[in-house]
Amino acid sequence: MLTHRRILPLVALAMLLAAPARADAPFSFDRAFGRLPKNVIPLDYHIAVVPNAGALTLTGTESILLHVRSATPTIQFNSLNERLAEVTFDGKPVAKTESSDDTQLTTITLPAPASPGRHTLRFAYTGKIETGPLGLFAQPYAKPGGGQGLLLSTQFEATDARRMFPCWDEPAFRATYTLSVTVPAAWATVSNMPVTARKVDGDVATTTFARTPKMPSYLVEFSAGDLAEITAASGGTKFGVWAVRGQEQYGAYALANAQQILADYNDYFGYKFPLPKLDSIAVPGGFQGAMENWGAITYNDQALLVTPSTALRDRQDVYSIQAHEMAHQWNGDLVTMGWWDDLWLNESFATWRSAQETALRNPTWDWLEAQDADKETAMAADARITSHPIVVHITNELEAETAFDSEITYAKGAAFLRMLEAYLAPDTFRDGVRHYIKARAFSNATGADLWNALSAASGKDVAKIAGNWTTQPGFPVITETATCDAAGKRTISLSQRRFLMRGTDPSNERWSIPVDVKASTHAAPVPLLLETDGQTVAAGQCGDPLILNPNAIGFYRVNYDPATLAVNTKAFGTLDNGDRIAMLDDQWALVEANQIQLGTYLALASAMGDDLDGRAWEQISDALHTIEYDERGTPGHAAFTAYARSLLKPVADRLGWDAKPDDSPVIEELRRKVIADLGAWGDPGVIAEAHKRFTAFLADPASLPPDDQTIVLNIVAINADAATYAKLVDVAKGAKNETELRRYFGALANVRDPQLATETAKLALSPAIPPQAAPERLQLIGQLADYNPQLSWQTLSQNIKLLVAPFGPMEGPQIIAQYVAPGYWNAVPLDVLEAWVKAHTPPDLAPMVARGMESARFRAAVKTTLVPAADAYVAEHHGVSTR
Ligand SMILES: [Zn+2]
């Protein structure tokens, strides 16, 4: 599953109980954690469902072939909002059937204990169709040609298959499924497997799909509605991209990508995709991101379709999300984690694999360099004392949803795997992955299964190296101290401790750190496994730069001694891009953690000149935005923004406004980035040019390519008066599709004028936002917090139910727990904020609330040191009075 990360403007956060470090064992069905008894195992389901979309109800029948392992008087499985009837066991009525929606369990009492062996359980049932993205849900949408449409789709991960059909709804219970559905005959239907029979009866049709391979219940999929597809076939697999009728042609990009990615993965994993077909289904709204159902991946349509309104960033999202979901067809579907503790085996893997594949097939995107932004987000989350390990122990399956933590489970896990891959060497790592997939195919796994396969491939004790990265929270900072002999030969001594944004960790944890020692600007790195404090190693000549995290691959920070840092700073302009990025990341984090002076970092930023490295500038832009935000309302604000503009101006002058024919996508994005920043920081020339282009856009929308619309409209909105705002509203209301709607309404949320911001808040809550875009409301209100924090807070707190409803009953409270405190630390007193968040989240989410509050307190603390430090730096280095 890939959840959408574009929620609220500031830091995104994390969750759940920290697991005690524990020795992980290879997967065993009997040892796998779970609530359901292991003495009865479902082997083969036949499920027939008749949904009534109008009434939001369903009826069904189910026949399940069971393997009873030891004699038992009862059978227990999961159900929710379902009532069972006509329950028979081997054709005979059972003694008692009890279903509880509180425990989400059905218990069947047999007339006499079942003997070991095979038996058949049959029943009829009634159930519910949901209106949010869980179980079988009904999704209303505005049709492309006008009018309202409705489609049905499913979202089962983690524990919601039980909402559509009673089942053994835990990942270790793999079984085969034969699904048949009865829906209006005019509707198309899609599921994991191809259609084997379709029988029309008046205005309804019953469609039966082929039996699936053995798989967990959370991967079953079913969608139906007025859908149409485009198709292709290659390498023995049929590919389809489905969308609401009239949109299917926008799936062409995704259809081509799917064929390329599947061919690459067949090779990488060394195991051919085992299903006959792979469908990709564009769901209009309902859920954000995508879900890796085996053979039938569902996507929010914004994450799959490419229209003439789509910008480069959107196309990049489509490719990388496809690469993520398709990686799950192996890591997750073919081989599934034994229990939710090891969700990282699904999510870290898919995130890491997606980055590698996207980079491989899109070399002009500098994709691996761009992943540094995700790694930094993960490190910011993991630098909290309240952080949690990659492996979290889920003791209650109903909390499994909380394991989907985009910073730790996804981003940290992916960064860790990239570091491990580099340490073992990519070919060796791939060989280990192939062994692992082959050994665990059509079954389940734990982390130990992966370590064993990687150890066999590499000859190294991978569990020993990897264990502390997955079972401990946090990550280390390496302290480097150099000594020089008479001939100038350098020896470095390295030590480590946990890196925290504030405070110290009493547990004194240590990591096995794969460090690459790069002893001069372009020297070949020498690998070193740092395990002992004070470990020493020869490192070239003292006058040369020293890089201990080349290419920023390592998930650790480096604090260089002053002499080494001075050499590195002097040589900064000559370093490789990835090495400069590592230094910018680390120095900024050390500034925020109050461990070094701000000037040390700004000296690096100033040394960039008109260099065009995209990720380095993105890092600098983020840091400058943080300082600028903290400076607002202080006497030093004007001088600081002038300084920030002066850093970006050389790049803007070099790139201009219009793309040159040989500009790479990275250069195009950099151009837009510096223009957007200069506009936000009041550069008169940029603002005037944006207005000129906006006027031309109003006369002829085709004059402004989709890629440039965001920067131009945002800059215009920032400075808008009532008349200009009215024009922007007209543009927003004329959006032709959700891509444009997100972009144009997003611009309205940039207005700074408080009266106009109030208008935007009203619009965000109004029916101007169609049902499939309902999650955008929260995004827009959150965005208003940038310049109108009080208005944003009032609107959010008064409408919180409406704003989080589209995310469903599980994700909604998590969004509140994670994002509200870091988003509003500057708007509401922290104790008031904490009380509000606690009052609006269940007690189970207390760890998430604590993480959000730690970030909020951190931001408030950083502000008190950043502002005077920035004022002093600007006054000293730029001769501008801050008073
Ligand atoms: Zn995923």
Q: How distant, in Å, are the alpha carbons of 103, 151, 158, 302, 314 from that of 286? A: 26, 10, 16, 11, 19
CA distance 173 to 169: 7
Query: Model confidence at 404, in pLDDT bands (50, 70, 90)?
Result: confident
Specify the pLDDT at position 13. 26
Residue bearing tokens 């192996």: 330
What tens digit of pLDDT does each residue of 458-501 get? 999 999 999 899 999 999 999 999 999 999 999 999 999 999 99
Across 35-49, 669-683, 764-778, least confident range = 764-778
Residue bearing tokens 């024919």: 661
Question: Which secondary-structure segment (H or E) carries 792?
Answer: helix 789-798
Say yes or no to pLDDT of 172 above 90: yes
Q: How far is the CA of 342 from the centre of ligand 1 (A)?
A: 13
What tens digit of pLDDT does each residue of 709-728 get? 999 999 999 999 999 999 99
Please give the average per-residue pLDDT across 164-184, as a whole number: 98
- 487, with CB counted inside 10 A (0-12, 13-18, 19+), is exposed
What tens digit of pLDDT does each residue of 57-71 get? 999 999 999 999 999
Q: How far is the CA of 350 from the centre of ligand 1 (A)?
A: 6
Please give the average per-residue pLDDT across 681-692, as a whole number: 98
What tens digit of pLDDT does each residue of 634-647 get? 999 999 999 999 99
Q: How far is the CA of 229 from the centre of ligand 1 (A)?
A: 24
CA distance 729 to 221: 39
Q: How far is the CA of 192 from the centre of ligand 1 (A)?
A: 17
Which residues are 233's β-sheet partners? 238
Query: Model confidence at 394, in pLDDT bands (50, 70, 90)?
Result: confident
Say yes or no to pLDDT of 160 above 90: yes
Query: Model confidence at 881, in pLDDT bands (50, 70, 90)?
Result: very low
183: left (phi over 0), alpha (psi -120 to 50) or beta: beta
Which amino acid would we find at residue 130? Answer: E
Specify the pLDDT at position 405. 85
Query: Model confidence at 2, in pLDDT bands (50, 70, 90)?
Result: low
CA 561 to centroid of chain Cα atoms: 36
DSSP state of 1: -
Q: How far is the CA of 465 from the centre of ligand 1 (A)?
A: 25
Specify the pLDDT at position 257. 98
Across 9-23, 729-743, 770-784, least confident range = 9-23
CA distance 568 to 505: 30
Q: How far is the CA of 749 from the centre of ligand 1 (A)?
A: 30
CA 858 to centroid of chain Cα atoms: 23
594: left (phi over 0), alpha (psi -120 to 50) or beta: left
Contacts of 306 (CB under 8 A, 6+ apart): 250, 252, 253, 254, 314, 315, 318
What tens digit of pLDDT does each residue of 800-811 get? 999 999 888 888
Q: Are 9 and 796 in contact (CB under 8 A)?
A: no
Say yes or no to pLDDT of 15 above 50: no
Q: How far is the CA of 345 from the centre of ligand 1 (A)?
A: 10
Say yes or no to pLDDT of 20 above 90: no
Specify the pLDDT at position 3. 54
Residue-by-residue DSSP string for 423-485: HH-HHHHHHHHHHHHHHHTTEEE-HHHHHHHHHHHHSS-HHHHHHHHHHSSS-EEEEEEEEE-
What tens digit of pLDDT does each residue of 176-227 get? 999 999 999 999 999 999 999 999 999 999 999 999 999 999 999 999 999 9
SS3 call for 812:
helix
669 is catalytic: no
Q: How far is the CA of 321 from the centre of ligand 1 (A)?
A: 9
Say yes or no to pLDDT of 14 above 70: no
Q: Which of 170, 248, 325, 347 is catalytic?
A: 325
User: Average pLDDT of the chain?
Assistant: 94
Residue-by-residue DSSP string for 685-754: HHHHHHHHHHHHHHH-GGGS-HHHHHHHHHHHHHT--HHHHHHHHHHHHT-SSHHHHHHHHHHHTT--SH
What percentage of the chain has pLDDT greater than the value 70? 97
Specify the pLDDT at position 392. 87
DSSP state of 130: B
CA distance 222 to 235: 25
Q: How far is the CA of 300 from the centre of ligand 1 (A)?
A: 14
Furthest-apart CA pair in the chain: how many Å?
94
Say yes or no to pLDDT of 143 above 90: no
Q: How far is the CA of 876 from the centre of ligand 1 (A)?
A: 49
Query: Model confidence at 4, in pLDDT bands (50, 70, 90)?
Result: very low
CA distance 721 to 379: 40
Residue 53: is the preceding peptide bond cis (ω within 30°)?
no
Please give the average per-residue pLDDT across 273-282, as a whole number: 98
Query: Model confidence at 7, in pLDDT bands (50, 70, 90)?
Result: very low
154, two tokens: 């499913």
What tens digit of pLDDT does each residue of 96-108 get? 999 999 999 999 9
Q: How far is the CA of 360 from the centre of ligand 1 (A)?
A: 20
What percentage of the chain has pLDDT greater than the value 90? 90
Query: Model confidence at 9, in pLDDT bands (50, 70, 90)?
Result: very low
763: left (phi over 0), alpha (psi -120 to 50) or beta: alpha
Q: How far is the CA of 685 from the centre of ligand 1 (A)?
A: 44
CA 838 to centroid of chain Cα atoms: 25
Q: How far is the CA of 211 from the centre of ligand 1 (A)?
A: 24
CA distance 599 to 596: 9
Which amino acid would we find at residue 454? Answer: L
Say yes or no to pLDDT of 700 above 60: yes
Say yes or no to pLDDT of 567 above 70: yes
